[in-house]
Copies of this chain bind each other. A is one copy, B any other.
Amino acid sequence: MTRSHTIAILPGDGIGPEVVSCALEVLDAAETRYGFTTTRTEYAAGANHYLETGELFTEVQDQLRDADAILFGSMGDPRVTPGILERGFILEMRQRFQQAANVRPVRLYPGVPTPIAGLTPERCELVIVRENTEGAYVGQGSTVHAGTPNAVAMQESLNTRAGIERVVDFSFRLALGRRKKLTLCHKTNILVAAGQLWQEVVADVAQRYPEVETDYVHVDAMCFHLPLTPERFDVVVTDNLFGDIITDLGAVIQGGLGVATSANLNLDATAPSMFEAIHGSAPDIAGKGWANPSGAILSLALMLGHLGEGDAAQAIEAATVEVLGSLPALAGADMGATTAELGTRIADIVRSGRA
């Protein structure tokens, strides 16, 4: 019997539809080559959808629940007030589908230029796991005496034992299949209560994984270690806000948002996980064929790995790396090929089984 997967496709705004369409061409090739099929349903979501309908997509989110996975392009438009789509869609999705772990590989692919002098691919092969549902992301905060000289704004960060434990346990399991090292990143000397809870959970869970070595780095010091000695890290686990910050630094190191990708993982199989490139909707270059589809295609690879199609995932990654390494520029007019041409090039390699 052929393996089959149900996939929800959310192209989104700006360059989203262009790069997702490349990813789907690559998916076609992978299905042919690796003998599985997918049922795909495309959904309109994002700024255009919101501007046209006034709907934030909350309405259809429940329809996505039955998908095996969600492939997401990018979202955002200068005409929509910042915060609306972020909170109304991305954060809503992470919460509603309990996508507890945001997993972002930081891998320098051969041939991709990094801004860090002297950094080589062998030294840069780590994964950052960010807690994706709590911490400083739990609410919008509150303000007293707003608009007066006495105004005080409070933000709260809520951290639960259960929320931390599920992402820490996942991180240990991930490390077990890798170089067996887990680093907690926090700011325990200042955020004492939350820091202690994180450290306690890591220490407790570590007992279930005696093969994995554990380590701790403050988030400020991480800004040093990540660019200068990334080889020090295998799996880094951190809270929601620190994860938001250091994964962008991770993306810089690996050559930019264009090649970075992420998985929002539901860890208890109660709802689908979502896979996305990290880049934004880049409305300024949308429609020009200047966007690099690698981020979207690598997120497709992450998705297929998650669905058990490991061979296809590896082939897609290898093909993407091959094409990436041949480009004169990573995006823009000087990329040497259009978005669609790059997609076809990668799809061809996957179909041929050359990768």
Q: Which of A's residues lie within 8 Å of B, judged by CB?
A: 82-83, 86-87, 91, 114-118, 136-137, 140-143, 145, 147-162, 187-194, 196-197, 200, 219-221, 223-224, 227-228, 241, 244-249, 251-252, 257
The docked-state distance in angstroms from the alpha carbon of A246 to that of B251 is 16
- Inter-subunit contact A151/B161 (CB<8 Å): yes
The docked-state distance in angstroms from the alpha carbon of A220 to that of B244 is 6
- Inter-subunit contact B141/A162 (CB<8 Å): no
What is the minimal beta-carbon distance from A159 to any residue of chain B, in angstroms? 5
What is the minimal beta-carbon distance from A185 to any residue of chain B, in angstroms? 11
The docked-state distance in angstroms from the alpha carbon of A147 to that of B136 is 22
Quick one: copies of this chain in the complex?
2
- Inter-subunit contact A142/B193 (CB<8 Å): yes
The docked-state distance in angstroms from the alpha carbon of A224 to that of B161 is 32
- Interface residue from B118, B193, B248, B251 paired with A141 (Cβ < 8 Å): B193
- Inter-subunit contact B189/A153 (CB<8 Å): no
- Interface residue from B155, B189, B221 paired with A157 (Cβ < 8 Å): B155
- Interface residue from B142, B149, B244 paired with A187 (Cβ < 8 Å): B244
**Residues of chain B with a CB closer than 8 A to A91's CB:** 190
- Inter-subunit contact A141/B194 (CB<8 Å): yes
- Interface residue from B82, B115, B245, B257 paired with A245 (Cβ < 8 Å): B245
